[in-house]
Structure 1
Amino acid sequence: MAIEIEPVIQKSQRPERIDIGDGLLMRWSTIKDANNIADCLANAFKWIPIGAPVPEDDYPGPNEWVKAAAKRLMRGNSAVMTEFDYAVVENTLAKEGENPIVACICLQGVPGFYGEKVQMQYGKPEAVSSHPDFRNKGLIRRLFTELIHPASDARGDVIQIIPGIPHFYRQFGYEYAIGLRSTRNIDDVTTKIPANPFKDDPTAPPTTAPGGWEPFTLRAPTLDDIPYLCKLSTREAQKSQAQVGLGYNEHYWRYTIHDLPQTQASAFDVSRRTCIIVDSKTGKDCGLVMGGAAPRSGLYIFTLEDGYEYREALYPVLRQFLAMDDQPSAWAVKQAAEKKKEEEEEEVKDKEDEETKKEDDATKKDDHKDKEDPKKKENQTDATTETPKSAPAPPKPMRLVLDPDHPVTKLLESKSTLDDHKHVRLYTRIPSYANFILKVAPSLEHRLAHSCLAGITATYQFDFYRKVVGCAGKGLKVEFKDGKIISATDDWVPPSPEQLMLATRDRKALAKAEGRPDNKNPTVFTAQFAPLTFTRLLVGDLSLDEMIYFYSETSVEGGDDAKLMLNVLFPKHREQFQCDLFWW
């Protein structure tokens, strides 16, 4: 399944301008806000170890990693947002020199999938911050409820996700529902990878590579390779069993392999390392490897074409992939080039000065020689000082962010340990269960068609007890005909016992008046879920039995088929959310 979602691109500033009193104005951003938004975030996150640990014995300054990330998102070339996608609170009474942006949240649109048949965009609020002097005033709440959520809903996002402060986002209609994929850690990957057996092999083909000949080599992708990258980064190509997750598309690859390196603005501007794997014997492209660069090395994608074995490619690829940590980053190369250019310009200027001031230059040269060679001036010898021994290289950890059953995960299982944070869940908001059901209907119908309930005609009614923030109604009704979903509505209100009894009487009376037996009862199933908890069943986080066990409000009525149908539609997923948080 190729992820081919076209991003909803905001091409101009949205018109909303909301005066909330005390000189505070809520609005959407423009490129002119980039530096102020970055400063607001950098100061809000200075005590949080994003990018680098916070020194215990020092007062930290603004978080440079966060500042670089904010500016990157505001550059206008991001794959998931533009410079018009930050909701901000501006202090119009800010004095000269003060940052007028006192609170902000960006809205991203990230391509993803649900099941085997549905491609969709996940709304993703991110990079949330507020100035300490303006906290506990409800600014973040208002940004979410009056700008972020309406904009996300209006462009068609049927689901929003966000990581963040424990419990905090529950107040905005989010439920912990989507469990992140479990990951594994290797404490020092360089000690766990065997040396290249061909390094000193006289029979190996000649090579100019410093590590010696390898049966697989790596090359940097170009824009022409984007279709190939899309092909090898689908869920199927990655051997992922996840039924929900984020994906990779043309816009992602264009941004990460070209736009980001071209516009990288500081050493803190993180990037991704993407390489195409090449069969050394044939010169044919045969795979893809992608991961985070040092100091946060990770392996997100490792895909081989059919006909190639992972056990043969794993170590040759990793040896070269990790060796790239020792190479200068795109930013360092850019800086070196600029420095060289400055030196060349300075050299040209010096030569021009020489021609116009020959006599002065001769004097300066003599003086320079004396200064340049003080040892000879003092009759000292050119003794070579002993080079101090370098400190041992620090451990190089690496994180495996692959499917638990991926061949690479299995091959490195004994060399790695399971991440302690295996129970982390993303906040999840599904504002309209009906809209969500209709969006993912192809995957739900696919599950029904491959079950013992294929072709079923029934009505399923869900009671959520009451309407709450983050939910469109207190109930949900979904109608199935011949195994297809024909309607879904959030307007359904659970009938009272009296209404149910009267409806039954009316149905029987109608059958009697028509002179027929009362055997045309529609198949109606009912279920009850505590507010927002239904989300956990929809995304496969908990099974129905677990829902019934953990939440006393959960119940299902209508016989064996009622429970079976929910198990078929919403199975618990062994492999959880495929999530790449590079988007921030």
Structure 2
Amino acid sequence: MEVFDPRYCADLGSGFIIKWADAHAARAYATLCDVVFRRSADAPLRTTNADTVAEWMQNHPLVGEHDIAVVVDQDDVVVAGAILLRQPMDYAGIQLYVGRPEMVVCHPDFRNRGFIREIFRLLHAKSHARGDALQGITGIPFFYRQFGYAYAIDFDQQCVVRFDSLTALASNSSPVHLRRARPDEYHEFVRLYDADRLNRGLLCTTPFERSYYTHLCTNSTSLTMFDLLFMTNAHHEVIGYLLVHRANYGTNICVLGAGVATGVSWQQMLTPIIQALAVYRSHIVITNPDIHALTGVNFVLDSIHPIYTQVQHGYAITTEETYAWYVRVADFARLLTALIPILEARVHRSLMIGYTGTLSISCYGSGVVLEWQDGRLSTVRNTRPPIMGEGADACLPHDTFLMLLFGRKSLTDIRFWHHEAHASTEATQLLDILFPKQPSWFQWMN
């Protein structure tokens, strides 16, 4: 029986079994999430994470019927688990699907037994079987590297603007009002959202499918998610959108996405937008009993968002460096085959138009070969090159090739910091064309 079969289970020894969760085990896993993720061992138990799992189990557009893997003891008590979401990604106009392990938990009494490794084995097998091009996760620094992940896709950059800094800023613009998007306004929302994500030179972005939009507007109550808000002017005309997290981020309201209509100026509208968010904060659920008021707005956006340029002028801000997604690609040939149209287009627009030749890339133990004929990528195949990389046109440690492929680092960046990375003159020229450095905004969906 294949490991992704819903009936699969395996003995892990000492009375422990790994399996795909049924309804009973899924509910127990949900409770375990709240136990493990609470702020301290003696903190009161909250249901925020259990409520999210319950929402995932009810015809959620990103989750299937048997997408929770659990480890249970001999009494069928869940001691570890994780769920696998399936989220769309737009890579330069090509739609891919990403398997996303989430809510990875293990009871403290049962750690260091390899249970999470076994759970990831199941999740990866299911993700591959259903055709996902890659897996992505955020979370514990360094931890997920042991399962083949590396930081490779831009996630967000954070900037906090304090509400009390607005008193010193004058605005000649009309006030902005915020309202929730309705289920029947999908096309209006996507028009604004796509104009924002597709017209700013971003490589990897998140397309908003109608099923997910409808879910957020009608069925979703989880505090781990965001609300879709329209910004309107005094005439009730829609002038932009915001993605606003339903719960607090520390002492701040959190904005995860922001875009304005054509002809609307960020320079003129940013202060009214922040003022509108100061009013809207009464709708935010504060989950930490030690926090009594929200004092600012935390913009959690892509690194080149125009808001970050505008807030440099007169606003009291604090910033954090860009965060990144952990990414795992087990089959480079599958992913690169899906990307053939964009790779061929990049060559066609370059000095190497009509290129014929072979590009062999070694990741020191794994690798991929790209065979070109008259500017067309005719063959993409995985290889097992020598461990020292002998004979390859380019040698790139596995995590650095991921950074290159997803635009996070240029080949020049990688070669400066990683002495194991090198390439021939022709390979360098071709890799620079195929994989230019480019920011991303891959927005998580829950």
CA displacement 1:533-573 (0-9 Å, x = unmatched) = 3212111222112222222222212x3x3211111111122
Is the Cα–Cα contact under 8 Å of residues 13 and 30 in structure 1 kept in the other structure? no
Match of 2:276 in 1: 320
Hey, what's the Cα distance between the residues in 2 that align with 1:475 and 1:408? 40
Question: How does 1:358-437 map onto structure 2 within 5 Å?
Answer: 394=293, 396-414=295-313, 415-417=315-317, 419-420=319-320, 422-437=321-336
* Whole-angstrom distance in 1 between the partners of 2:374 and 2:49: 52
Q: Which amino acid aligns with 1:434?
A: A
Match of 2:180 in 1: 220
What letter corresponds to residue 152 of structure 1 in structure 2?
S
Alpha carbons of 1:497 and 1:44: their partners in 2 closer, same or farther (altered >3 Å)?
A: closer
Q: Counterpart of 1:254?
A: 214
1:164-313 equivalences in 2 (<5 Å): 164-186=139-161, 188-192=162-166, 214=174, 216-234=176-194, 236-237=196-197, 239-261=199-221, 269-281=223-235, 283-296=236-249, 297-313=253-269
Partner of 2:181, secondary structure, is coil
**Is the counterpart of residue 479 in structure 1 residue 439 in structure 2?**
no
Quote the residue 1:38 is aligned against: 30
Would the aligned equivalents of 1:118 and 1:440 in 2 still touch at CA under 8 Å?
yes
Partners in 1 of 2:135 and 2:356 — Cα distance? 31
Secondary structure (helix, strand or coil) at the match of 1:149 reads helix
CA distance in 1, matches of 2:136, 2:414: 21
Are the structure 2 counterparts of residues 431 and 404 from structure 1 closer, same or farther at C-alpha, using a change threshold of 3 Å?
Answer: closer
What percent identity do the matched residue pairs reach? 24
Q: Distance in 2 between matches of 1:136 and 1:170?
A: 16
- Quote the residue 1:533 is aligned against: 400
Q: 1:407 to 1:328 in 2, by over 3 A?
A: closer
Match of 1:109 in 2: 86
**Residue of structure 1 aligned with 2:432, choices 542, 567, 577:** 567
CA distance in 1, matches of 2:442, 2:167: 27
2:54 to 71, 79, 100: 71
Alignment of 1:488 onto 2:388: no
Query: SS state of the match for residue 383, structure 2?
Result: coil
What SS does structure 1 have at the residue aligned with 2:407? coil
Compute the displacement of 1:580 (Å): 2.9
Q: Partners in 1 of 2:296 and 2:237 — Cα distance?
A: 31
**Contact conserved, 2:360 with 2:367, CA < 8 A, in 1?**
yes
Structure 1 residues 167 and 318: alpha-carbon distance in aligned structure 2, compared to 1, 3 A threshold: closer
Aligned 8 A contact 2:363 2:389 in 1: no
Please state whether the residue corresponding to 2:157 is helix, strand or coil.
coil
Task: Identify the match of residue 90 of structure 1 among 72, 96, 99.
Answer: 72
- Distance (whole Å) between structure 1 residues aligned to residue 109 and residue 164 of structure 2: 46
How far does residue 528 in structure 1 lie from its aligned partner after superposition?
1.3
Q: Return the letter of the residue paired with 1:442.
A: P
Aligned to 1:506: none
**Distance change in 2, residues 1:277/1:460 (3 Å):** same
Can you list the C-alpha shifts for 1:381-406, whole angstroms capped at 9, x where unaligned?
A: xxxxxxxxxxxx84512111234443
> Which one has a bigger Cα radius of gyration?
1
Deviation at 1:40, TM superposition (A): 1.3
Structure 1 unaligned regions, length at least 5: 1-11, 48-53, 95-99, 199-212, 330-392, 467-473, 501-524
Specify the alignment match of 2:138 in structure 1: 163
Tell me the distance in 2 between the aligned counterparts of 1:308 and 1:243. 24
Q: Distance in 1 between matches of 2:326 and 2:310?
A: 32
- State the AA in 2 paired with 1:25: I
Cα distance in 1 for partners of 2:323, 2:175 equals 39
Cα distance change on mapping 1:193 and 1:178 into 2, 3 Å = farther
Q: Deviations over 1:272-319 (max 9, x none)?
A: 2322233433x4333222222452312222222223333343333332
CA contact (8 A) 2:155 2:302 kept: no
What is the Cα deviation at residue 153 of structure 1? 0.5
Given that residues 166 and 271 in structure 2 are in contact (C-alpha distance below 8 angstroms), is that contact kept between their aligned partners in structure 1? no
Distance in 1, Cα, partners of 2:317 & 2:346: 34
Q: Give the deviation of 1:132 after TM superposition.
A: 2.1
Q: What is the DSSP-based 3-state SS (H/G/I as helix, E as strand, rest coil) of the residue aligned with 1:298?
A: strand
2:123 aligns to what?
148
Shift of 1:327: 4.3
- Normalised TM-score (structure 1): 0.68
Give CA-to-partner distance per residue, 1:499-533, whole Å, 9 cap, x none: x8xxxxxxxxxxxxxxxxxxxxxxxx711123443
1: distance between equivalents of 2:227 and 2:275? 14
Residue type at the aligned position of 2:114: G
Task: Note the 1:427-466 alignment, pairs <5 A.
Answer: 427-466=326-365
**Is residue 126 of structure 1 aligned with residue 106 of structure 2?**
no
Aligned to 1:434, what secondary structure does the other structure show? helix
Give secondary structure in 2 for the equivalent of 1:92.
Answer: coil
Question: What is the CA-CA distance between 1:480 and the residue it aligns to?
Answer: 1.5
Helix, strand or coil at the partner of 2:10: strand
> Which residue identity does 1:171 align to in structure 2?
Q
> Residue 165 and residue 301 in structure 1: after superposition, are their counterparts in 2 closer, same or farther (change >3 A)?
closer
The separation in 2 between residues aligned to 1:531 and 1:219, in whole angstroms, is 46
Which structure features the higher share of strand residues?
2
CA positional deviation for 1:196: 9.0
State the AA in 2 paired with 1:189.
F
* Equivalent residue in structure 2 for 1:23, among 10, 15, 19: 15
Q: Residue 82 of structure 2 aligns to which amino acid in structure 1?
A: I
- 1:477/1:492 contact within 8 Å kept: no
Aligned pair count?
Answer: 435
